[in-house]
Amino acid sequence: MVTFLVRRLIQFIPTLLAVTFIIFILLNVMPGDAALLSGNPRGGTDPKVIEALREKWGLNDPLPIRYVRFLGNLVKGDLGISFRLDRKVSEVINERLFVTLRLAACAMLFAVIGGVGLGFFSAIHQGSALDIIAMIGAVAGMSIPNFWLGLMLMYLVGVLLGILPTSGYGGGDLAHLILPAFTLGIRYMALLARMSRSAVLDVVHEDYVNTARSKGLAERAVQFRHIFRNALIPVITIAGLQFGGMLASTVVVETVFSWSGIGSLLVDSIFRRDVPVLQGCILIIVVAFLVINLLVDLVYGYLDPRIQYD
Amino acid sequence: MLRFKTLVIAVLLVALLSVYGAIGWANQEQPRYGGTFIMPETYSAHISMDPIRIGNERAEDIQVIIQALEGLIKFDLPTLKIVAAVAESWEVSQDLLTYTFHLRKGAKFHNGREVTAADFIYSFERLMDPDEAAVPIHILENLAGVDNYIAGIADHISGLKVINDYTLKITLNSVDVDFLYKLVEPGATVVPQEAVESLGRDFGRTPVGCGPFKFESWTGNEITLVAFEDYYGGRPYLDEVIYRTMLEAGARGAAFEAEEIDATRLTSPQYLQYKNDPLYKDYLIEVAEIWTRNLYFNTREGPFVDKKVRQAFNYAIDDEAIIEHYLLGMAFPCVGYLPTSLPTYNPELIGYDYNPQLAKELLKAAGYENGVAIEIIGDSTSTTWGIPYVEAAVPYLEAAGFKVKLVPLESAARHFRRDAGEHDAGMTSTGGLASPLSYISVYLSRYGRAQGNFPAYFNPRFDHYLVLAGKEANFEKRMELIRKAEEIFVDDAPIWFANYSKGVMVYQPWVHGLEPVALDLQYQPMAAVWVDETSPRAK
């Protein structure tokens, strides 16, 4: 187990190196740079100012030198200074990451509990009216654009019923979290409901399920110990991958609900060519992906004792 | 007798009612101290509150900075007249080169220290310090001795002199009749050296100034300002002003209806909704903002080199119909370039009316009888100054013989192509300056595309009038020279004169003191705003 962990962590290094290289090249071949956009958003900035900023930010140095400098600083744990915000990148990301993690974690929690529960229930009652309704709901959940859903919920729950605040972060209280988390989570819930339904249906007719039943186990025990546990493996994989993706795709929900998280930081930084912040954000998201995948692998071992880590 | 009694009672009743009414009226109009005001910020996420890091189009930051930082002089925002700030009075020498400012005694920074002339020297030298790589350096570029200071030859700018703690003398290299307008910009505000040095980079998060509000915090999407008790003009009415970044119009609408925010800028569909709302129609502020939405032609290459083609474009489009039906009335049709809120507004100027026949004739005269293919770049989302607005004009253009290809681009890519001249035309919005001279001077031939002369316009006669205007101290004569330059500009048509911005804001019934600020409706003088006790945030 320990060797497995160490090996996986060492494998992170080449992955991260490759990622930094790709990000660096992509960000630097895009037309326009941060200096051009720093003064006035629609242009019309004094060329002297633009040149001074390029010099200050080292944008006039050749690409290889900038890449080596970036790597050198990265090893020291220094992500640099944001062009746009004139603040340390680590500080900016730190502030935003927690906001997004909180949103994504709540959305995922809601998606997993709701989705797996619904999927399992539908599969066990395959073909029933409830199954059909649940699956129609799942298709709808996957198809509804979340900005629309967000606005509708805002109006219905926030304005007409007046039971929750319409938007804002509100210092991080639960009331401000519910609508954004639901809006972000609904699509993933629908996806997980469909996934877990088909996973359960795959398992239901396996020999070991028949064996469990024929040896006289109670139906509940068969469902939970044999069907549910085995069906969870593909579901966990999908949920893990989705969580990583969710971190990078919260921007719509963040914008609609006026939150400032990693998603909006990423988009603002792309538009303003704020390369240091972009590099930092993408690195954090890649690390999150890698760590979640590792965790998913570890959970496999718990769910299926046949999986060995060596 | 009975009649007399009735009459007496009636008179008494009327008197009583009018006294009661007067008290009620007085109560309503008597400004009240206390309360919190939540203002949504609608443009984009805040960047920095450090006045030397932002250009004069950074409305998202400027609307906050002006509440907390002040300089020698400032705008009276509703009228856009230049008025006293830290300087109570000032004189300009005969040769228009020396400005002497007399500072008021007792103006304090938020840290409690008094503002003196030396603080202005520090703040101005900080702005021009090459190590700072500041953005709004145009403000002081014309100061005597600034070049030596930038080059490191001199430690100080020789054109800045402290006469005593309360007197500051500024000497210019050459006459600049717009110098006072430049001193009003946020880049020229005064900051205390000790705070800049102790806060370091964090100065951009919570700057220290001497304005009516001071910075309390900036967390996530919210900036909180609190009343500054020792403000030289007396403490503001509100205890707290919160700027909350809310970029989604639908979210702002919902928050406004749920009474979570005190006012909000409207989009055109929202304008239509509130204009017809029995309650809120009386709580709308409308203003002709000083922004000209226009399409710059490439006057150096391609079909738009020919003036006739540019004029044909202008004649081909029914601007009023687009404004009425597409923007639902939320803009004003252009006559010339300078908007109606500026003192140069010229009602006699003849612009381009809708004349499709003339458009066709002009195109034919230019040799494009069978039509001409053009490519237009622009912002992908803005309905008032982006590609969506041009889309509304396409049917008119096609009817006149233009074959239009629209290329929506995000800002960096768009600027890159524009500055390289790789386009036939591009949609944009320009302005935001209260001085008509500065407003139109971006089109002087000495400026390149990157400096704001997007069409790369060149006409010596136009230059001539503006250079004269730049030396003319008499205000009326100056305005007349600018009007002459504008007439030439309109005739040359280096741009399509699309529309002037109309800003509309709706506010809650408990809000008082918001003003139709033409510079930008978001630039509200919050020190004059107050909320009555019916506000849910009145405490």
CB contact under 8 A, B450 and A44: yes
- A220 pLDDT band (50/70/90 cuts)? confident
Residue of A nearest to B40 (CA): A258
How does pLDDT run across B31-77, given as a tens digit for each residue? 999 999 999 999 888 999 999 998 877 889 999 999 999 999 999 99
Residues in contact with B276: Cβ distance below 8 Å, sequence separation at least 6, in sequence order: none
Instruction: Please tell me the pTM assigned to this model.
Output: 0.89
Residue A265: how many CB atoms within 10 A of its CB?
28
The ipTM assigned to this model is 0.87
Region B283-293: mean pLDDT is 95
Q: Does A41 touch chain B (CB under 8 A)?
A: yes
| pLDDT at residue B232 greater than cutoff 70 | yes
Q: What average pLDDT does the segment B286-311 reach? A: 96
Q: Where are the alpha helices (DSSP H) in A77-223?
A: 89-124, 129-143, 146-153, 174-204, 207-214, 219-221
Q: What's chain A's average pLDDT?
A: 87
For residue A264, give the chain B residue with the closest CA.
B45
For residue A162, the chain B residues in CB contact (below 8 A) are: 258
Neighbouring residues of A308: CB distance < 8 A, sequence distance ≥ 6: A301
pLDDT over threshold 90, residue A171: no
Q: Do B251 and A154 touch (CB under 8 A)?
A: yes
* For testing contact with chain A, the best of B62, B128, B135 (most A CBs within 10 A): B135
Say what the pLDDT of residue B23 is. 47
Segment of B16-25, B56-65, B401-410 carrying the highest mean pLDDT: B401-410
Which pLDDT band, with edges at 50, 70 and 90, does B24 fall under?
A: very low
B371 at interface of A, judged by CB pairs closer than 8 A: no
How many residues comprise chain A? 310
Of B135, B257, B418, the CB nearest to A43: B418
Question: For residues B426 and B456, is the Cβ–Cβ distance under 8 A?
Answer: no
Instruction: Kindly state the percentage of chain B with pLDDT values over 90.
Output: 84
pLDDT exceeds cutoff 90 at B2: no
Residue B318: name the closest of B305, B327, B307, B309 by CA: B327
- Alpha-carbon gap, residue B294 to A270, rounded angstroms: 26
Which residues 24-53 of B have a C-beta within 8 angstroms of A? 44-45, 47-48, 50, 53
For chains A and B, CB pairs below 8 A equal 157
**Nearest by CB to B221, which of A86, A147, A260?**
A260
CA B406/CA B401 separation, integer angstroms? 15
pLDDT, mean over chain B: 92
CA distance B411 to chain A (A): 7
Strand partners, B428: B294
Nearest CA of chain A to the CA of B408: how many Å? Answer: 14
Interface test with B, best of A45, A101, A155 (most B CBs within 10 A): A45
Give the model's pLDDT for residue B229.
Answer: 97
Interface of A with B in 86-125 (CB under 8 A): 86-88, 95, 99
- Give the side-chain half-sphere CA count within 13 A for B483: 16
The pLDDT tens digits for B527-538 are 999 999 999 999
Average pLDDT over residues A56-70: 88
What's the gap in Å between the CA of A46 and the closest CA on chain B?
6
Q: What is the pLDDT of residue B253?
A: 95
For residue B388, pLDDT beyond 70: yes
User: Which residues in A lie closer than 8 A to residue B53 (C-beta atoms)?
Assistant: 86
For residue A41, name the pLDDT band (cuts at 50, 70, 90): low
How far is CA A45 from each of CA A34, A57, B427, B429, B459, rounded to the nearest angstrom? 12, 17, 18, 15, 22
Look at A228-232, B320-324, B384-388, B514-518 and tell me which has the smallest mean pLDDT: A228-232
Contacts of A264 in chain B (CB under 8 A): 45
d(CA B265, CA B249): 9
Mean pLDDT computed over A79-84:
90
Answer left, alpha or beta for residue B160, where phi above 0 means left and psi between -120 and 50 means alpha. Answer: beta
Euclidean distance between CA atoms B252 and A254, whole angstroms: 14
pLDDT digits (tens, 9 = 90+) for B80-104: 999 999 999 999 999 999 999 999 9
**What's the whole-number mean pLDDT along residues B222-244?**
96
Which of the four pLDDT bands, split at 50, 70 and 90, describes residue B450? confident
Chain A environment of B412 (Cβ under 8 Å): 30-33, 36-37, 271-273
Nearest to A158 among B58, B248, B254 (CB): B254
Q: Which of A30, A55, A169 sits opposite B412 (nearest CB)?
A: A30
A249 and A146 Cβ atoms separated by less than 8 Å: no
